[in-house]
Every structure is written in C-alpha cells, then in structure tokens.
Amino acid sequence: PADWFKVIRLDEHTFALSEPQYWQANVNYLLLGTERALLFDTGPGLYRIRDVVESLTSLPVLVIPSHLHFDHTGRVNEFADVALMDSPALRAQTRDGVFTATDAQFMLASGTNFRVTRWLADGASIDLGGREVMPPVNACSSATWSTGISRWPMFRGRT
C-alpha cells in the first residue's frame, strides 16, 4: 500500500524510511551527498523501497545492509550498486560477483542472493560528495556507522 513506508526527514540530507506496519517496525536510512546516496538496509522487501528512494533522490544509490537477515536485505537485488564489508567469510560466499547468504544468515528457510559491486575495508570511508560516511572499525561484529553530520553522528542497525 501507498502508506507502507513512513518517510521521516532527519535533516536536509538524511531520511529514515520507516515501515511501522511491519511487525518488526524496521527503519532504513537514506543518506544524501552531492554526488551519490547511501541506503542503509532495504527492509524485509514486502513492498518496493526503491520506489520511495527514487521519489526522494535522483542520485545514484549505494546500498549497504547492516547485516544479512531477511528483514534488512529484502529486494536488495533491485539495486545496481551493493556493497558488503570485506571479509574472507563473505567473499567465500560470492561466486562470479553474486553473494549468497546462508539460511542461518538470512534467518529463513532459504537464503538470498545479490550482486556485490564493491567490498568495503574496515575503517574505510565512503565519499557521497560533501559527506563522508564511515563503517565501523570492526564491521563484522558491529553495525554502528558514522553518518557524517553532527546532529545525528551515528546510527545503528539492529543485529
């Protein structure tokens, strides 16, 4: 339905894309720079978050899931640019650029798969143009990110 996503403007360049009707009440984040946008999580995928993102920005979008559970990677494969934190374990699950989550990672009977276009090293920053976003120093054990703005310096994906 049209009212599935509730868009909350946190500041001029930061949006929370809430799914209050979903039983887990997911919140995904869209961070805008001058050159590109970053979508942190894609929710459970019951409805197309891509439509909401495209209504908010015409910038190219990089998607980064906080972790690989079904409620954070739904419809992630609808996006052209998807990054994962670089680790030998995640790379081992990637064949010909396509990552396949295990059932345990995905938390459902069958995992998901999607194309990974880039691997992020621990501590590397992502330049969105006028805004740098930093993944956690040890991304495999934490989902706290620096957002590049002073009012909302960090946010956390539920693990």
C-beta contacts of 83-86 below 8 A and 24+ residues apart: 83/116, 83/117, 83/118, 83/119, 83/120, 83/126, 84/116, 84/119, 84/120, 85/119, 85/120, 85/122, 85/135, 85/139, 85/140, 86/119, 86/120, 86/121, 86/122
Domain ranges of the chain: 6-156
CA neighbor of 37 nearest in space, from 12, 65, 62: 62
Architecture field, domain 6-156: 4-Layer Sandwich (3.60)
pLDDT value at position 109?
A: 52
β partners of residue 118 = 83
The torsion angles phi and psi of 5, rounded to 5 degrees, stand at -95, 135
pLDDT value at position 158?
A: 40
pLDDT value at position 73?
A: 87
Written as tens digits, the pLDDT of the chain (159 aa) is 778 899 999 999 999 998 877 777 788 999 999 999 999 999 888 889 999 999 999 999 999 998 888 888 888 999 999 999 898 989 998 999 999 887 776 666 566 789 999 999 887 889 999 998 876 554 444 444 544 444 444 554 443
pLDDT value at position 111?
A: 64
Question: Is pTM beyond 0.85 here?
Answer: no
